[in-house]
A and B are shown apart, each in its own frame.
Chain A
Amino acid sequence: MTKLMSAPRLRGSMIALAAVGLALSSVVLSTAASASVKLPSSGVEKPPAGTVTETGSTLLYPLFNLWVGGYNTTYPSVTVQTAGTGSGTGISDAENGTINIGASDAYLAPSVTSANPDLKNIPLAISSQLVAYNVPGVLSHLKLTGKVLSSIYQGTITTWNASQIASLNPGVTLPNIPIVTLHRSDSSGDTFLFTQFLSKTDPSGWGAKIAYNTTVPWPAAPGALGETGNSGMVTGCKATPGCIAYVGISYLTQALQAGLGYASLQNAKGQYEVPTAASIAAEAASFVAKTPANGTISLIYGSAPGGYPIVNYEYAIVSNKQSSSTTAKGIRSLLEWAINPKLGAATTYLAQVNFQPLPAKVEAQSVKQILSIS
């Protein structure tokens, strides 16, 4: 090699080549830096090797685990750590930067966004919530309204055969057992959704007294129990005859296996709907035009005919300013994979948890938000 280098002509050409290479790469780099990140044709950027951490909503947790499995088959060099700790933790950890992606069923509160202008909530999928119960002898879907649920959780309706419930369900024999209300003791997006539903259907009662949040001061209904996580709600309800609980739809299979029934809820048009793919999609479709670019909107109790009233976007809470561009790229890659209709948002994954894919317009808005992570 030294012999080669010592030849003056060859040395000169090496220097020339190096100079050209330097010039080219600087041109490429500068254009790359100045232009915004563009999605490759496959729809997913190739991630650098490393770790991406996620934590948050227990409603999204089962799906995220499925996604990680699929994502790793294509990109095995990335380690994704997931945890189901509740939407509140997802939001706060993303705020603090202690986690890369926070999963939440609730969009960010205005106080959070004003304190952290870089924090974004990016819709990933559409999920929903069911009201499960453990009433022995009742095999059909009980019809319930938001006002009745509000009274139950406030403790004014205390037995299953109360007149308000019986009048909605003629022909169903309701046992005379006390209602045991279950609520989430951890900070939860499911609490946010359920209390938002109660606030919108009972604005003068629940809405005025308690309102909605990821944690609320639950009224002292007799025998009310607090559980941790969606799985805690299911196991707690299974162990308590007469219980009523709000459970994320990704736990539908577990709820059915536990022998729980779920309610048919009244929507704004007065119809009683159970959460099916059609009813969820109908509700979501009615909000597509109203969804802002930052994804912050409630899909609860819309006026879609045939729509199930408790439907929500599942959000990834991510900061726009990551500590390094490699971290940002890893996060972007995972999220792009997750919402791609052919990859993460395909029926193979979503159907396992009874979620629905994002409508096209919302998906495009989410992609835009993802690309701005750097």
Chain B
Amino acid sequence: MTSVGGVAGDVPATPPGRTAPREPMFRRVADVFRANEEKGWRWSARVAVLLPLVALVFAVTVLALKAWPAIRVNGWYFLYGKNWTYGDSYGATVSTHGVAHAAGAQFGAWPIIAGTLQSSFIAIVVAVPLSIGAAFALTERMPGWISRPLGYAIEILAGIPSVVIGLWGLLTFGPWLAKNIYPIVASIASALPNVEPFNYFRQPVGSGEGLLTAGLVLGMMIIPIITSTTRELFIQVPTLPKEGGEALGMTHWEVANRITLPWVRSGIIGGTVLGLGRALGETIAVVLVGGASLRLAPNIYQPFGTIAATILSQLDGAQADGTGFAVATLAELALVLAVISVAVNLAARAIISRTGRTGGPVGSGA
């Protein structure tokens, strides 16, 4: 910009009869940018926030398309049948409902679905009491030199790759359990009557690769989620009711049980259901620690299979079937898992939103 003199307020000198000189190019471009910047932010943010929805719809569509031939042939047997066999893929190809597949191919996924539910159930039963208890312990007044490393330790457990946890479970934890803990549990179970829940815990104890070990490892993996959620919730409980309770002579346990827990109950359930979602979809750790079986676990220490682990370990076997039917069946399995996962997530959101605790108003600083 040409200007004469340095006195503020000077009008830039222009020769008479001419309008103000045009500004340098970069300034004009910068002005255009600044004028449209807000539009740019709004549009790119809008696109970005749509992408998860697009990705979700895309994923479910791809799964449904690939699974459709299998859904037509497998029918409802898929959900209750117990036999998983690829049939005679070295024999003739037959066709059902217009879909080609190996003769004798039959896919019943009930044992795998049951295994998923069983292992997640064990994980929740183990993780929830421990997480809530630990969250209580963490929110008590503890010296910084204890609470900080403990906080770190839980974050680290959350961050350790599941393959490392799985390998540790396979090489160290499982064998240790099989040698030290399981025999004790089995002998207790032998003393109990020989009826359904108890005889599931009897011998043989196996080598550590199985349902109980996988359930415990899954529990370990979801504990950080539930603990940190619960801890955040506990911190948000207003102190006034708690102190009032203590003033009235309630013990720690009573304050926790009658004041704190009811306050955060739905939040804990929400956090638990999130952890459940993680446990349902965990693949690598279960592949390493759960043994690999397409059958129901005969007792709680024996190998079993979950949907996620089966998809991983069976995919290349399925591709050896040239008709593509086995791969379509695995896509159907993935679709079942996706449906379960979505249902669990929606349930969690419904529970949380009942108390209206989605994000607080913007700028609350809380």
**A touches B (Cβ under 8 A):** yes
Nearest CB of B to A175, in Å: 17
By the criterion CB–CB under 8 Å, are A109 and B320 in contact?
Answer: yes
By the criterion CB–CB under 8 Å, are B322 and A215 in contact?
Answer: no
Chain B: CB-nearest residue to A226: B292
Given contacts A187-B314, A215-B314, A217-B84, A109 and B292 within 8 Å (CB-CB): no
Q: Does A86 contact B (CB under 8 A)?
A: yes
Chain B 300-344 per-residue mask, 1 if CB under 8 angstroms from chain A, else 0: 001100000000011011111111100000000000000000000
With A and B bound together, what is the CA distance between A172 and B82 in angstroms?
40
Nearest CB of A to B105, in Å: 10
Q: Does B162 contact A (CB under 8 A)?
A: no
Q: Does B295 contact A (CB under 8 A)?
A: yes
By the criterion CB–CB under 8 Å, are B86 and A213 in contact?
Answer: yes
Q: Does A186 contact B (CB under 8 A)?
A: yes
Given contacts A91-B320, A111-B102, A185-B292, A225 and B207 within 8 Å (CB-CB): yes
Q: Does B93 contact A (CB under 8 A)?
A: yes
* Stretch in A113-121, A128-136, A159-167, A362-370 touching the partner: A113-121
- Residue in contact with B294 in the complex, picked from A89, A112, A217, CB distance below 8 Å: A217
Nearest CB of A to B201, in Å: 16
* A residues in contact with B102, CB < 8 Å: 111
By the criterion CB–CB under 8 Å, are A223 and B206 in contact?
Answer: yes
Q: Does B83 contact A (CB under 8 A)?
A: yes
- Residue in contact with B322 in the complex, picked from A86, A106, A112, CB distance below 8 Å: A112
Q: Does B36 contact A (CB under 8 A)?
A: no
With A and B bound together, what is the CA distance between A110 and B88 in angstroms?
11
By the criterion CB–CB under 8 Å, are B303 and A187 in contact?
Answer: no
Give the most central of A91, A109, A115, A186: most B CB within 10 Å.
A109
With A and B bound together, what is the CA distance between A99 and B86 in angstroms?
24
By the criterion CB–CB under 8 Å, are B89 and A213 in contact?
Answer: yes
Nearest CB of A to B89, in Å: 5
By the criterion CB–CB under 8 Å, are B316 and A109 in contact?
Answer: no
Give the most central of B84, B104, B291: most A CB within 10 Å.
B291
By the criterion CB–CB under 8 Å, are A111 and B93 in contact?
Answer: yes
Name 27 A/B residue pairs within 8 A (Cβ), A-sorted.
A88-B316, A88-B317, A91-B320, A92-B316, A93-B316, A96-B319, A109-B89, A109-B90, A109-B321, A109-B322, A110-B91, A111-B321, A111-B323, A115-B323, A185-B292, A186-B316, A187-B314, A211-B88, A213-B86, A217-B83, A220-B298, A223-B206, A225-B207, A226-B291, A226-B292, A226-B303, A240-B207
Given contacts A220-B295, A240-B207, 8 further A-B contacts (CB under 8 A): A93-B316, A110-B92, A110-B322, A111-B100, A185-B293, A213-B90, A224-B293, A225-B291
Chain A residues within CB distance 8 Å of chain B: 85-89, 91-93, 95-96, 106, 108-116, 185-187, 211-217, 220, 222-226, 228, 239-240
